[in-house]
Structure 1
Amino acid sequence: MLAAQRFLLFLLRPLITIFVLVMLIGIYFPSFLSVFMVNPWLNGVILNITLLGIGMLIFQMFCVYKEFKYLEKHHPQKLRIFPNPDLPFSFPILQWYQSGMNIDVQLPLAQCEKRLDQRLRFGQFLAGALVFSGLLGTLWGLSQSIIVMADMFQNVFTIEPGKGDFLMVIKDYLSGALSKMGLAFSSSLLGLGGSVLLHFFLMQLRTIQGQWYDQMVRWAQDSLNHKASLDLTRRVGLEETFAPDVMLSLLNKMLMSLDGFSVSHKAQLQRCQDLTECFLSFSTKVQDLSDLMKAQHHILNKWAQEQMSSRHALEVMGSKLEDLGFSGDEAMRQALTKIAVCCEFLAKHHGHDHVSS
């Protein structure tokens, strides 16, 4: 709680600054109003940008304070919840803690630092916009002053002697030029003043972020120390659990269990060996049967070749007998015709047997 109270003191400084600024504006309100009304449009834009930047930076300060209180309340010994997405700055380090702190702590810390820098960029942009608005008003007022002075030098020598006092005309032109210079200096004053004020609040926000980052580093270091102490306690407990006497009794129990397992499964092991021998014998017989079928196939091929040669010889003899029948008498032709028919029949019969085989 002391750290949270010290952190709250950093928040009081910008709040006290705002209070003092409001008091000064209230005391010198007529002068401030006269300066503001010189160029109400541009000065109104500058004032709105300043108020927007101050409000945004104060909101960022309270967001950092909220996360600071969360880390102060939840010590590493007590944190057992999932990281809260409503804490954008602390989310990487909380996720690292919930994941078991197995990676280097510098990685989540770098992510936290990057998120802090991103929250400063919009305030820096608004401060730059205020400087630009002040310079824009200055250039606008100076340009109008130059135009008025040019009109004065153009018309001062064309005044006729009876048209009025020469000095009064010069006074009118110079009062117009000075009013334009007031326009320039009023916008420049408000723009640069708002930029200085925003940079002051940015400096306070950086200081608060630095305090929060230091607290985050200490929190991460406490988390690592707590984890190391838990690991050491667990290791000591394991060493006490696995003492030599305890280990010896556990090994004896394991050996007895293995002996009982081998006795109960000895019959099944013998049955597996018998099945393996039967399978080897069956494969040997299948191999012998395959060799026998190969020998029978060779014999059948040889018998088919012999049948083909016999059929060819009978066909040749039949053709010769037909030729002989054409050269003899009728009785011999008839006898030879019958013999040829018989040869053809035998040849066809042998060919049919060959095909069937």
Structure 2
Amino acid sequence: MARSLERSVRFVRPGRYILNMLLFLILVGGVVYYLSPYSPNPSTILIDAFNENRALNGLILGVLALGVIYNLNQAGMLEGAINWIEAFRETVDPRRARLPKPPGVINAVAQLLLDADERGGRLSFESTRAILDSLATRMDEGREMGRYIGHLLVFLGLLGTFWGLIQTVNGVGATISNLAIGADTGDAITQLINNLKAPLEGMGTAFSSSLFGLSSSLVVGFLDLQASQAQGRFYSDLEDWLSGRTDPGRADGARTAQAYEGDVAAALQAMESAFAAHTAELVKAHAANTAQLKDEIRALNRSLIRGGKD
């Protein structure tokens, strides 16, 4: 049953998840193209927003590119892991000499599998648990970096927002301070319009940074979701495959020693409980015999007293 389960498990390739990522990126690219000057309905909204703060918005787009590449790599490296496991499962060489070098994500897993293969190929429950825990730890470490990139994009967007708001507040303060009291109405309005350029530039920085930061976070979040689903499916398939190679009745040496110590402790505890129960029964029987002896002595005394009176 276990071997049939081992042979029946087929690992799902990460290609479908990578395809979802690429389709989503194409969709995002289509939206960007539609809002660009090169679309059938030319628009400069994105270029104008980017020019509000080129340094910060350029940094956001750079982090976005890093997040896209990182998440694609997180999903793509599972292909190498699946190829190694398939080669391990299909090879007939008992020495496993022709196996390729395992990728980093399953390096520890591969070592544990090779060690178990040298001992007969079957895994104990503890070895299977160690393999799955090692893989889960590696995947969690990779996902933490992806989440950090998404949070960094949100932070950069908020940073630009507060940066722009500070510029707006300072610009409004300067505008109010520079108003000429008692001047001609036309000149005052012209001066007010000219002085409002700085606050409006600050608002442009705030909104443009929020636009790029939150939009980039949305893109990276979707890619991270697809990469996590690909890793989760690989983990489930590996767990099913390892369950076919696991011998529930087999235990490692350390586990056997622990079980032996536990059996000895249980036996000693049982003996102690039995001894205590036996001692309690002896004490109870002794108390009953003592009480009976006292009753017989009292009865004998009463008989002697009656005989003396007679």
User: Normalization by structure 2: what TM-score?
Assistant: 0.66
Q: Distance in 2 between matches of 1:176 and 1:159?
A: 24
One-letter amino acid of the counterpart of residue 68, structure 1: I
1:111 counterpart (134, 144, 158): 134
User: Normalization by structure 1: what TM-score?
Assistant: 0.57
Q: Distance in 2 between matches of 1:114 and 1:79?
A: 30
User: Which position in structure 1 is the counterpart of 2:62?
Assistant: 48
One-letter amino acid of the counterpart of residue 92, structure 1: A
User: Which position in structure 2 is the counterpart of 1:130?
Assistant: 153
One-letter amino acid of the counterpart of residue 147, structure 1: N
SS of residue in 2 equivalent to 1:158: coil
Bigger radius of gyration among the two:
1
Q: Percent identity?
A: 23
Q: List, as ranges, runs of 4+ consecutive aligned residues in structure 1 with deviation greater than 3 Å.
A: 1-7, 76-80, 82-86
User: Which position in structure 1 is the counterpart of 2:216?
Assistant: 194
One-letter amino acid of the counterpart of residue 47, structure 1: L
For residue 61 of structure 1, report the CA deviation from its aligned partner. 1.0
For residue 3 of structure 1, report the CA deviation from its aligned partner. 4.8
User: Which position in structure 2 is the counterpart of 1:63?
Assistant: 77
Please tell me the root mean square deviation across aligned C-alpha atoms, in Å.
2.8
User: Which position in structure 2 is the counterpart of 1:99?
Assistant: 115
1:179 counterpart (201, 204, 209): 201
Distance 1:3 1:19, change over 3 A: farther
For residue 222 of structure 1, report the CA deviation from its aligned partner. 2.5
| Gap runs ≥5 in structure 2 | 1-7, 37-43, 117-122, 251-310
| Gap runs ≥5 in structure 1 | 229-357
Higher mean C-alpha deviation, range 62-71 or range 205-214? 62-71
Deviations 1:157-206 (A, max 9, x none): 436228x4332322223343122101111011111111121111111111
SS of residue in 2 equivalent to 1:99: helix
Distance 1:89 1:6, change over 3 A: closer
2:27 counterpart (10, 15, 20): 20
2:50 counterpart (36, 41, 59): 36
User: Which position in structure 2 is the counterpart of 1:342?
Assistant: none
1:223 aligns with 2:237: no
Deviations 1:219-257 (A, max 9, x none): 2122237x99xxxxxxxxxxxxxxxxxxxxxxxxxxxxx
1:120 counterpart (140, 143, 150): 143
SS of residue in 1 equivalent to 2:89: coil
1:146 aligns with 2:169: yes
- Mapping 1:1-357, distance limit 5 Å: 3=10, 7-29=14-36, 30-75=44-89, 78=92, 80=94, 81=96, 85-100=101-116, 101-102=123-124, 103-158=126-181, 160-161=183-184, 164-224=186-246
- Count of residues paired in the alignment: 227
Q: Distance in 1 between matches of 2:182 and 2:102?
A: 74
